[in-house]
Structure 1
Amino acid sequence: MCPWPRMVLGFYGPEDHSWSPTLPRPTVWVDVTSTAAVKDKALECYARELRGGDHPRSLERIGDGRRDRGGVRNRAGGGVRGLPDGLLMGDVLIAHQPAYLPWPGYFSRLADAEEPVLLDHGQFTERGWQNRNYIRGAPGPVRLTVPVRRRFGQSITDTRIADGVRAGRHWRSLAQTYERAPYWPEHQDALETVYRTPWTHLAHLNEALLRLMLDAFSLPLPLIRTSGLPSDGQQTDMLIDLCRQRGASRLRVGTGALAYLDHGRLAEHAITVEVSTYSHPPYDSAPGRRPGLSALGLLLHEGPNALSVLRAGARTETKVCV
């Protein structure tokens, strides 16, 4: 019996859409920016096959197709734009559980990300950072906790919020703490909209706050939820499967993940591990600032400079898997 193929490679032709209204959606995209001009030159050898005007086989339409499908970097200097379920071959997988108002180290790992993955299908953990975090306070850090309905073994995406009234208390705490911050007026309305929304599930609230903060940090990244992806195995095997799906050969994790990762399994699949750490650079002299608090304080006190502070404190080290 012949074994099942491990990889199927195909290509898209300029007129494929005329044969079928739906096309397979690739999971791997390769950046051809540096070779696009050479490819166009090579097409001159097929002058008889090329057409002019708005024909699918015109050089202009072929070039447009590369840009639309994410194979060429845009002219403004941004990253490669791929489909929601595609990343560049050899890119890095950065997978996080959706946390509540995360600390700066959470965002520092995403500063060069293409499509971060939210591990929202994972198990909800009590007394973790999925439903609580600290903000600065005059006498000391203030803990904000989102009350949830607990059920043994429930996933993060299935975890429901138990007390909607608490959102109003969190909003008042944020307003009292940061109303004098230089960039509070700029973000006040967006934050209030999130906290006035009657969320029923923790994952939805966390994702809304993550998107708000990513946009404010000038990191408008798409977020991919694992609850919407087919994934196999647990822990290391799950991450290997996600790397396969995303076309990633590098896995970026925090120091806490080193304790449970099976480095031998990762080496078997040629996946390199990047360990990300973060040290808090000084950025303002407001009272109550200390390491480990929510990144919201950094954002509201530093504004446009916040991303530079994130990058200044970020360190990434490649670990050899054996």
Structure 2
Amino acid sequence: MKLAIMQPYFFPYIGYFQLIAAVDQFVVYDNIKYTKKGWINRNRILQNGKDAVFSLPLKNGSDSLDICERELAGDFKRDKLLNQIVGSYRRAPHFEQTFPLIERIVRYDDVNLFRYLHHSIVSVCAHLELDTEIRVSSGIDIDHELKGQGKVLGLCRALGAGTYVNAIGGIDLYARNHFQAQGMELKFVQSKPFEYAQFGAPFVPWLSIVDVMMFNAPERVRARARDGFELV
């Protein structure tokens, strides 16, 4: 059984969904600390030919709080975020097919950060027809005081994984011999180059999945999510 484990992200790039497609079970962390200046509650879209950051504002909270303990800000204006996306993509070829999904996700009525992100990930997976089982880390019976690679190995053992698959960016974080000692393989998802037209301007790579869906037909996005990578 192939397993991947990741933090939740808001409208992440296509590589995140390729990682989900590459495995049998995908575990989303809810009980690890929220990290500032990361990609948990923000990402990038195309705006006037350049990348621009969009984000979910959060209620003030202690740096020690886990993701599942953080909340969206009380003044989060969902219409403002939707208008930012409309302003960037209303002329995109697949806007009409994609925007209802984006609007349903942004308008999801929950202030808990993890539940809001979890809903967004599950919704995009359904749209991309990815049927990987998605689990939540706190619901798995391990010692949740474990950290880093130790926690990953604990989750792998608890779920009976034969292969742990991670994003290519984590290649320096994990040691293959530690997984081999536990009878497991360690693999990484390497995305294949994927370039497409963005209003005729120079291509800006690795933007949010929003950008990919706005400029590509649904069947092409689904094919890239399922097959546009290699396991190395």
Q: TM-score, normalised by structure 1?
A: 0.65
How many angstroms apart in 2 are the aligned matches of 1:281 and 1:195? Answer: 26
Query: Retained in 2: the 8 A contact 1:236–1:266?
Result: no
Q: Aligned-pair distance for 1:299? A: 1.6
Q: Aligned-pair distance for 1:228? A: 1.8
Give the structure 2 partner of residue 291 of structure 1: 205
Q: Which moved more, 1:112-121 or 1:128-137?
A: 112-121
Report the secondary structure of 2:129's partner residue.
coil
CA gap of 1:100–1:198, structure 2 versus 1, over 3 A, is: same
Q: Amino acid of the residue matched to residue 215 of structure 2?
A: H
Alignment of 1:241 with 2:151, yes or no, is no
Give the structure 2 partner of residue 306 of structure 1: 221
Report the secondary structure of 1:309's partner residue.
helix
What are the superposed Cα offsets for residues 273-294 of structure 1, whole Å, 9 maximum, x if unpaired? 0022224322334346411210
Give the structure 1 partner of residue 112 of structure 2: 201
With CA pairs under 8 Å and 6+ residues apart, which has the higher RCO, 1 or 2?
A: 2
Q: Amino acid of the residue matched to residue 62 of structure 2?
A: R
The structure whose Rg is larger is 1
Q: Aligned-pair distance for 1:264? A: 3.9
Give the structure 1 partner of residue 170 of structure 2: 257
Give the structure 1 partner of residue 31 of structure 2: 121
Report the secondary structure of 1:248's partner residue.
coil
Give the structure 2 partner of residue 5 of structure 1: none
Give the structure 1 partner of residue 181 of structure 2: 268
Give the structure 2 partner of residue 192 of structure 1: 103
What are the superposed Cα offsets for residues 22-45 of structure 1, whole Å, 9 maximum, x if unpaired? xxxxxxxxxxxxxxxxxxxxxxxx
Q: Aligned-pair distance for 1:220? A: 3.6
CA gap of 1:219–1:121, structure 2 versus 1, over 3 A, is: same
Give the structure 2 partner of residue 33 of structure 1: none
CA gap of 1:201–1:264, structure 2 versus 1, over 3 A, is: same
Give the structure 1 partner of residue 94 of structure 2: 183
Alignment of 1:93 with 2:3, yes or no, is yes
Query: Retained in 2: the 8 A contact 1:252–1:275?
Result: yes
Query: Retained in 1: the 8 A contact 2:70–2:112?
Result: yes
Q: Aligned-pair distance for 1:184? A: 2.1
Q: Aligned-pair distance for 1:262? A: 4.5
Q: Which moved more, 1:180-189 or 1:166-175?
A: 180-189
CA gap of 1:111–1:200, structure 2 versus 1, over 3 A, is: same
How many angstroms apart in 1 are the aligned matches of 2:135 and 2:209? Answer: 21
What are the superposed Cα offsets for residues 189-226 of structure 1, whole Å, 9 maximum, x if unpaired? 33222222332121122112112211221214332000
Report the secondary structure of 1:130's partner residue.
coil
Report the secondary structure of 2:54's partner residue.
strand
Query: Retained in 1: the 8 A contact 2:57–2:76?
Result: no
CA gap of 1:222–1:168, structure 2 versus 1, over 3 A, is: farther
Report the secondary structure of 2:47's partner residue.
coil
Equivalent of 1:161 in 68, 72, 79: 72
Give % identity. Answer: 19
Q: CA RMSD in A?
A: 2.0
Query: Retained in 1: the 8 A contact 2:105–2:120?
Result: yes
How many angstroms apart in 2 are the aligned matches of 1:208 and 1:185? Answer: 21
Q: Which runs of 5+ in 2 are unaligned?
A: none
How many angstroms apart in 2 are the aligned matches of 1:301 and 1:312? Answer: 18
What are the superposed Cα offsets for residues 62-104 of structure 1, whole Å, 9 maximum, x if unpaired? xxxxxxxxxxxxxxxxxxxxxxxxxxxxx11111110011011
Query: Retained in 2: the 8 A contact 1:138–1:287?
Result: no
Query: Retained in 2: the 8 A contact 1:94–1:110?
Result: yes
Alignment of 1:109 with 2:19, yes or no, is yes
Report the secondary structure of 2:68's partner residue.
coil
Q: Which moved more, 1:196-205 or 1:125-134?
A: 196-205
CA gap of 1:163–1:141, structure 2 versus 1, over 3 A, is: farther
Query: Retained in 1: the 8 A contact 2:162–2:185?
Result: yes
Aligned residues: 227
Alignment of 1:43-54 (within 5 A): none
Q: Amino acid of the residue matched to residue 306 of structure 1?
A: V
Equivalent of 1:278 in 174, 188, 191: 191
Q: TM-score, normalised by structure 2?
A: 0.88
